[in-house]
Structure 1
Amino acid sequence: MSESSRWTMPDMAGILSNKIPQDELKPGDHIYSWRNAYLYAHHGIYIGDGMVIHFTRAAGQEIGTGTVLDRFIFSSSPSHPSGSPCPRCGDQSRTEGVISSCLECFLCGGELYLFKYGVSPGVFIAKTRGGTCTIAPSDPPEHVLHRAKFLLQNGFGVYNIFKNNCEDFAIYCKTGLLVFTNVSVGRSGQATSFLAATTAIVSSPLRFLTTGVSGLAAVGFGVYCVSRYVSDIGVRRDVMKIPVERLILCPGPLESEATTITDTSKEKGL
């Protein structure tokens, strides 16, 4: 086994769990906490002094579809474990958009996890649950904090579970990367994993090569892994690094610029 392909102990530990003690957090860390029996995770950027900047919907509107489905997933809006308003944050249960909360309210009684950046393809695929890591490298902490604090004052657009959610917000703060595509999926690993899982068997012509349950499972898992990998922000090509000031002040020209770059890449066969 070559040196570059050998997995280290931190790699192995990271596959098992991304849990991190609160006293090991550093400003600029991308953190998350599982909600609703591990159905989904809420993400944010730790800025120090026990505070987190994150993107959320108001209570009862987590999915952001405007339909009855919104009632079946608990809100990611922060709440104090005691049930009473937090003495530091106040009552944020009806607050939406980019907000700042204390770590205790952000966790909402859940455990703390660290989102990993710059992982190897092997580790990424081994982490079968999306929304926990990416192949893309992180920018320096000062850049991450600048984006998060700027968006706290200016917003991050309209929340959408597939195109623009809390994980999308945190990944943008960490990388400055935006996805420009007609496909209705943003940067979120949770969203891409969900779509990969639901289409793994149905969309694969390989399903006709086997009829056994184990064979179908193997084919489905393979398609799922490939779909997750090619959709990762660190692999896909329909991304651009956008300064946060331009993201807020000049959204129109960015779309045109992204289209031009994409068309040019296609002409060159990239």
Structure 2
Amino acid sequence: MAAGVLSNRVDRKDLAAGDHIYSWRAAYLYAHHGIYVGDEMVIHFTRATGQEIGTGTFLDSFLLSSSPGSDEGAGPPCQRCGPLVVRGRDGGVAMSCLDCFLHGGGLYLFHYAVSPAFFLAKARGGTCTLAASDPGHVVVHRARYLLDKGFGAYSLFKNNCEDFAIYCKTGLLVETAFSVGRSGQLASLTAAFSAVASSPLRFLTTSASGLAIVSTGMYCVGRYVSDMGVRRDVVKVPVQNLVAQTQTSAVEAEEVTSETAATETTVAAADGASSPAR
């Protein structure tokens, strides 16, 4: 574990089924996460290429969670895993071979049940957590179950690939709707923003070194209290219950959309009927 402070990089021969792995994208700007299920295959949560955020801007193609070379219509399909199939309109769970998942990047292992000192030494978020992992066979079961049933709609800020992998490893979900999800990458970004822009403590010092110490301290505290291993707003949810909740929410959302569309149609028809002839 000591070597992991400097780098989480591993060799593929050292992987075990149920490992949470990731690979850096866009010059180490962010990482894509998945669950290794054995036989050189990875289950991961993704959107189709060019749709990662869903903003309709160039940012959608800048952030890639899927592997362009294995997407349908983006080139010859992989001979091992075929074209990447994302079932949901808003993203879904897919299975790819390890090579397609890495997309030419390095292979890294996400660490669980680390000590607070180790966690804070890994200044970059999205690499480890204080939360404990469940046994490998339980992790693989969750990943395969969600591959078949789905993990809800992809959301960069609330339900992304790291959130998926952490849930598969721990079974933990965040109860409060207003907080950041399970992603350590986004927790780090939020902590950094709070340390630099939002902390009133930055006014307690005027020196550059003092400001650096205060900002670093606030960043570390922000990351620590956002971690799944210490948060109080998390609950263990069986995968069957999670899928049932997700499907119920999807049905309710669809009903609301249908009712809204029907109401708008009725109002439009009424307005047309009441308009005076010209």
TM-score for the superposition, normalised by structure 2? 0.82
Counterpart residue number, 2:9: 19
Counterpart residue number, 2:151: 156
Counterpart residue number, 2:177: 182
Is residue 40 of structure 2 the alignment partner of residue 45 of structure 1? no
In structure 2, distance between residues paired with 1:250 and 1:74? 29
Counterpart residue number, 2:47: 57
* 8 Å CA contact 1:59, 1:93 repeated in 2: no
Is residue 78 of structure 2 the alignment partner of residue 86 of structure 1? yes
Q: Look up the SS of the partner of 2:217 in the other structure.
A: helix
Is residue 226 of structure 2 the alignment partner of residue 242 of structure 1? no
Which is higher, the Rg of structure 1 or of structure 2? 2
The amino acid that maps onto 2:241 is R
Q: Look up the SS of the partner of 1:68 in the other structure.
A: coil
Counterpart residue number, 2:124: 129
Q: Shift of the alpha carbon at 1:91? A: 2.5
* 8 Å CA contact 1:33, 1:107 repeated in 2: yes
1:246 and 1:131, CA in 2 relative to 1: closer, same or farther beyond 3 A?
Answer: same
In structure 2, distance between residues paired with 1:198 and 1:172? 25
* 8 Å CA contact 2:86, 2:92 repeated in 1: no
RMSD: 2.1
Is residue 25 of structure 2 the alignment partner of residue 30 of structure 1? no
TM-score for the superposition, normalised by structure 1? 0.85
The amino acid that maps onto 2:226 is S
Counterpart residue number, 1:194: 189
* 8 Å CA contact 1:78, 1:108 repeated in 2: yes
In structure 1, distance between residues paired with 2:145 and 2:129? 24
* 8 Å CA contact 1:63, 1:73 repeated in 2: no
Q: Shift of the alpha carbon at 1:223? A: 0.4
Uncovered stretches (5+) of structure 1, i.e. residues with no partner: 1-9, 255-270
Q: Shift of the alpha carbon at 1:217? A: 1.6
* 8 Å CA contact 1:201, 1:219 repeated in 2: no
1:86 and 1:252, CA in 2 relative to 1: closer, same or farther beyond 3 A?
Answer: closer
Q: How many residues align?
A: 243
In structure 1, distance between residues paired with 2:245 and 2:156? 24
Q: Shift of the alpha carbon at 1:93? A: 8.0
Q: Look up the SS of the partner of 1:247 in the other structure.
A: helix
* 8 Å CA contact 1:28, 1:145 repeated in 2: yes
Counterpart residue number, 2:224: 229
